[in-house]
Amino acid sequence: MENIIALHEEPFMAKMLCSDRGLLQLIQNNKINIAELADKAIENAEACITGCEVLVARTGSIILSSSSIWAVVHPVFYPVHIVVAYASQIVNDIENAIELMKKRYGNNLLQ
């Protein structure tokens, strides 16, 4: 949260969106009223905050889930994309990421 607050204090980061209700709640619970839910898109927002499924250390890749269309669409439309991730989401390479996704989604991986 400290990093999100620090970014928000920059003059060019006044308006942020958040595509994840859980993250938005966490931000607001920490008395940070800087983000709005992305389904009410702000045309002039400077950044979009999303979660992720997996971070791939070897390539620096971020894997987003299509289960939240906002998590996939909004990073394309806003100048800055802030990804909130947890240590448990970091894997070494793409193969590990695919394994993790298969465990999580099983046969529904491509839906």
- Both tokens assigned to 2: 């400290």
* pLDDT score at 54: 94
Task: Assess whether pLDDT exceeds 80 at residue 91.
Answer: yes
CB 58 within 8 A of CB 93: yes
Domain ranges of the chain: 2-108
State the Cα–Cα distance between residues 23 and 51, nearest whole angstrom.
7
Average pLDDT over residues 85-99: 94
The second-level CATH assignment, the architecture, of 2-108 is 3-Layer(aba) Sandwich (3.40)
State the Cα–Cα distance between residues 69 and 91, nearest whole angstrom.
24
Rg of the chain over Cα atoms, rounded to whole angstroms, equals: 15
* pLDDT score at 55: 95
State the Cα–Cα distance between residues 80 and 88, nearest whole angstrom.
24
Under DSSP, is residue 52 helix (H, G, I), strand (E, B) or coil?
coil
**Please, which residues bridge with residue 16 across strands?**
35, 47
In this predicted model, what pLDDT tens digit does every residue of 1-60 receive, in sequence order? 788 878 877 877 777 888 777 888 888 887 766 666 655 556 677 888 888 889 999 999
